[in-house]
Structure 1
Amino acid sequence: MSLKTRHVFVEGLKVEAAIGIYDYEHGRTQPLIIDAEIRIGLHAIKGLKDTLNYEMIGNLARELIARGHIKLVETFAEDLAEAVLALPQALEVRIRISKPEALADADRSGCVVVVTK
């Protein structure tokens, strides 16, 4: 067997955020759904220190949200991707942010960003 790539992921992480550019979006929170896929190295993994801890995704997202109102989903996605990429294990990060309440006639809308070291 020849290992070509290794990814860790989190799907469907639900958070509440003060987000949006419209007046009616200020002063309240809205749900966001985060999907993250992170490419990590091909080194031997013997313990948690050798990989990327999934909990870091939620922790980083909540830290960004705690800073205050976010204007755009794209900004949040890019900031989260950069924060995850700053982790030493991360080589490439794909973040998808869904904002389920953005459009009344759609299940979800949002954006996807991919960043690489």
Structure 2
Amino acid sequence: MNEERIVIVEGITDKKKLNKVLKDPVEIICTHGTLGVERMEELILDNNLDHRPVFILVDEDDSGYKLRKQLTEELPHALHIYIDKAFREVAATPEPELARALLSRHFNVKPIYLI
């Protein structure tokens, strides 16, 4: 069984932002918005999400809330990472702020962002 952690984000700009801040390589999946039943099943099966530590990091807006709710129902073991509502989008969150959010879930981040 693969114990590799995986982070689920909404878009490619979120993924790029995370990769910029993370010190260690972490698998990151983009959903590109909310998922239909078929795409959700595909996502879970293709990535073995039922048997891996899953982290959900989505925007603090209506589509993000909807996606978080949907993922929580399908992956009740998933842990959540939250950004400050003031930034609304993961991609718009300043790197030091994002680094603190990731650190709270024990991800290794680049020290440059721990100011």
Query: TM-score with structure 1 length normalisation?
Result: 0.31
More helix by share: 2
Query: TM-score with structure 2 length normalisation?
Result: 0.31
More strand by share: 1
Q: Which has the larger radius of gyration?
A: 1
